[in-house]
Structure 1
Amino acid sequence: MIADPEPFLRGLFRAAVAAADPGLAVPNFLPAKPAGRVVVVGAGKASAKMAQAVEAAWGPCEGIVIVPYGGALPTEGIEIVEARHPVPDAAGEAAAGRILNLVSGLGEGDLALCLISGGGSALMAAPGEGLTLADKQAVNKALLSCGAAIDEMNCLRKHLSRIKGGRLTVAAWPARTVTLTISDVPGDDPAIIASGPTVADPTTATEARAIAARYHLALSDAVAAYLQTPAAETPDPSHPAFAAAECHLIATPQMALEAAAATARAEGVTPLILGDALEGEAAELGIVLAGIARAAVTHGHPVTGPAVLLSGGETTVTVRGGAGRGGRNSECLLSFGLHAPEGVSAIACDTDGIDGSEDNAGALWVPRVAAHKAEARKYLEAHDAYSFFEKAGGLVVSGPTHTNVNDFRAVYIPG
């Protein structure tokens, strides 16, 4: 029995983040440093720390890595560029163009080492020929509020880009491309992570157009026209560049959940991993998790307390009125709290340390927060979970963690 669930839940989150530390993971997957020229490129929330780990092993390197504002770390040779996420900006566009120019100068015997993690799709913005940054920004904003899943978002992004969907590998050819990837997507598919800039793309422009239609996206005339052109198609997977390319998953959501499970066992709490790829509307998943918790409390199924239900995966938030503050984890947890049985506590956080566009990683539902339950519904309906948890004292603020293995959720069932 845990006397105070808050430090226990915070400890599980710390364990999950630590399991995805790029400083520990990168050295295990680095190839032998070639005699030829080496350039290090990449983008994502974990990429600065990945770059540090590369230089710790190889010394100063030539290269460019793009991270969100506030996510830079000191490096010796690799240039760290900060750009906007989740909606791209001019800094990300300029840096993406420089990355393409850098790898295009490589030849046989050279190596492009690519460091890719979640968030890289927005950070590495290179609009297709004839498209503008404003076009990409409008599409990104529409995707973020329409309820599309991450694979659907990235399918459309790939077909509007000069760098995604394997185009970076083709640009570097005939040099060898090795990619080290930290997964933030359900299923850990490298073709989806950061829109797969170095991975052969199985999707088509026809599928991208269908996604735009499915979610009734108001595409500009330029974007709609571009999706009808051959330029919108990503490189054919049979291109020889992909035969020489390698891609290694170095950290995943499942690894983070297993680390949290080990921490729970050490505290005498039984862990049950529900899955690393739970998707859907954030508020609806909150209701499902509350239902499982109620079954555990009432019937002892699927687990008896003291126990903790662990899950990962990226939910979505479809904005239907309201202009509040809050990310998908805070919204999921607020919905959970509305439906959870008394005495159950929980945490929901993004492992990158930033939930949506606010300064919190996520939130806690513990007894002092539950005391404000009567006010929760109005905040949920306004998509204003941040304000609720700020008022109730339930925000979790970690700052950028310099890694990203998607969302982390833990529900504590007392004994």
Structure 2
Amino acid sequence: MTPESLLRAMFAAGVAAAQPALCVPPHLPPPPRGRTVVIGAGKASAAMARAVEDHWPDPESLSGLVITRYGHGVPCRHITIREASHPVPDAAGQAATAELWAACGDLTADDLVICLISGGGSALLVDPAPGVTLAEKQAVNAALLASGADIAEMNTVRRHLSGVKGGRLAAHCHPARVVTLAISDVPGDGAGVIASGPTVGDPTTCDAARAILTRHGIAVPALSESVKPDDPRLAGAVFTLVSSPLIALRAAAAVAEAAGFACHILGDALEGESREVARTLAGIAQSVAQHGLPFAAPCVLLSGGETTVTLRGRGRGGRNVEFLAALAVALNGHPRIHALAGDTDGIDGIEDVAGALIGPETLARARAMGRDPRADLEANDAHALFEALGDQVITGPTLTNVNDLRAILILP
């Protein structure tokens, strides 16, 4: 098995381990005496809805609606699927959210709401807070994405710009029992951060959201206070994490170990600027190769989490390809180190590309084509670099989302 094929197999295993058909059914609640309404939002939500239908005792009793990203829809028989824009919300998302809200009307204590949440739900659940227009929400989202703000900061702001997130959706479903099944794509797996916590009480305040916007130099629109954790309408709500970045990392590690490589998971919640994380991991990989510290080669260094890219150039961004371009520059053609980084949803930034690969020849090949990898990095244009090299990892929509998977292979 070549280094490239091993890294690709590891990434595929990580994605497969987080598939809704595998992780949703074991956590389904028993049917209620009343109605069962299935709602949700996220890149994996349509596949999650299909898993509910395929394993529910009486699927014809189901109703409801979930919202997923364009191109991520999965046919369902009884649950309506709507598609909308991600990462910047659009009018289709706003219309679909209004439908979803209406589907939860007139519920009773005998009814059950199954809420299916995954990464991307923040942009797909669109109900601007009072005094906020859709255009203002779009502008704030775009500015946050370009600012280098981390996901916790972005979702704190989103909870205070929304009429549906920050616990508001669960409060609206009261007095029905609300069971949330979530696939995490965020560092730390925080229930209030995944899709901005539509069914989870929010301890943050408008002041906190205002401070984040001010720190990043973004104009502050009207903000609205979220539903707090002690709100009695949330007393019966249940939140269950059904898959997470660590599950994907362990599945990838199993592939490496079966191929004879020791595998070390450095963490599932690494954050920071992509290029800074790359420089740090390059230093560790070089130490392994040269000194056998902190691990002996051959081995694989695995990590997950969500890095950030502060857009300063005119490129297309993408935190995984930016990480890899910076890693390649830092390694400077090291003859024994290969790497892959990709987003498990199949989309790095706004591109329909999961990520890419690098190896000892990456820089030399790029320069032979007349490209300057350092210039591509400074322009935030690593997507163009790896497209030219033919080293992209393209999966199409994976219908799940457990954040990024980075694998660095150090040969003997």
TM-score by length of structure 2 reads 0.96
Q: 1:271 aligns with which of 242, 263, 280?
A: 263
Show the counterpart of 1:39. Answer: 37
Length-normalised TM-score, structure 1: 0.95
Match of 2:352 among 349, 359, 367: 359
TM-superposed deviation, 1:373: 5.2
Q: 2:43, 2:121 within 8 Å by CA — same for their partners in 1?
A: yes
Between stretches 258-267 and 361-370, larger displacement belongs to: 361-370
Give the Cα–Cα distance (whole angstroms) in 2 for the partners of residues 183 and 76 of structure 1.
26
1:7-86 aligned at under 5 Å gives the runs 7-58=5-56, 59-60=59-60, 61-86=62-87
1:304 and 2:309 are equivalent in the alignment: no
Q: Which moved more, 1:98-107 or 1:72-81?
A: 98-107
State the Cα deviation string for residues 184-227 of structure 1 (Å, max 9, x = none): 000001110000000011111110111111111123xxx1xx23
Deviates more, 1:98-107 or 1:48-57: 98-107
2:155 corresponds in structure 1 to 154
Within a 5 Å distance, the mapping from 1:290-329 to structure 2 comes to 290-320=282-312, 322-329=313-320
| Rounded Cα–Cα distance in structure 1 between residues aligned with 2:403 and 2:179 | 23
**Secondary structure of 1:137 counterpart:** helix
Aligned-pair RMSD on alpha carbons?
Answer: 1.1
Find the aligned partners of 2:411 and 2:230 in 1 and give their Cα distance.
54
Cα distance in 2 between the residues matched to 1:345 and 1:149: 27
Alignment partners' CA distance in 2, 1:372 and 1:379: 14
Following the alignment from structure 1 to structure 2, what is the Cα–Cα distance between the partners of residues 125 and 301? 48
| CA displacement at 1:239 relative to structure 2 | 1.5
SS in structure 2 at match of 1:107: coil
Cross-structure match for 2:194: 193
Question: Is the Cα contact below 8 Å between 1:82 and 1:91 reproduced in 2?
Answer: yes
Partner SS state of residue 372, structure 1? helix
Shift of 1:367: 4.1
Aligned residues of 1:369 and 1:394 also touching (Cα < 8 A): no
Percent same amino acid among aligned pairs? 55
**Aligned residue identity for 2:14:** A
What does the per-residue CA deviation read over 1:50-94, in whole Å, with 9 as the maximum and x for residues that have no partner?
000000012242111111100001100111101000000001011
Residue identity matched to 2:326: S
Q: Matched residues in 2 for 1:121 and 1:209: separation?
A: 18
Cα distance, 1:369 vs structure 2: 2.9
Shift of 1:241: 1.9
The counterpart of 1:289, out of the listed 247, 271, 281, is 281
State the Cα distance separating 1:42 from its structure 2 match: 0.4
Match of 2:2 among 1, 4, 27: 4
CA positional deviation for 1:163: 0.4
Determine the structure 2 residue equivalent to 1:217: 218
Q: AA paired with 2:267? A: G
Per the alignment, residue 377 of structure 1 pairs with: 374
C-alpha separation in 1, matches of 2:132 and 2:101:
17
Find 1:393's aligned residue among 376, 384, 390: 390
State the Cα deviation string for residues 82-113 of structure 1 (Å, max 9, x = none).
10000000010111112112213211110111
Deviation at 1:265, TM superposition (A): 0.8
Runs of 4+ in 1 over 6 A off after TM superposition: none
* SS of residue paired to 1:7: helix
Using a 3 Å threshold, how does the CA distance of structure 1 residues 73 and 330 change in structure 2: closer, same or farther?
same
| Equivalent residue number for residue 133 of structure 1 | 134
Aligned to 2:329: 338
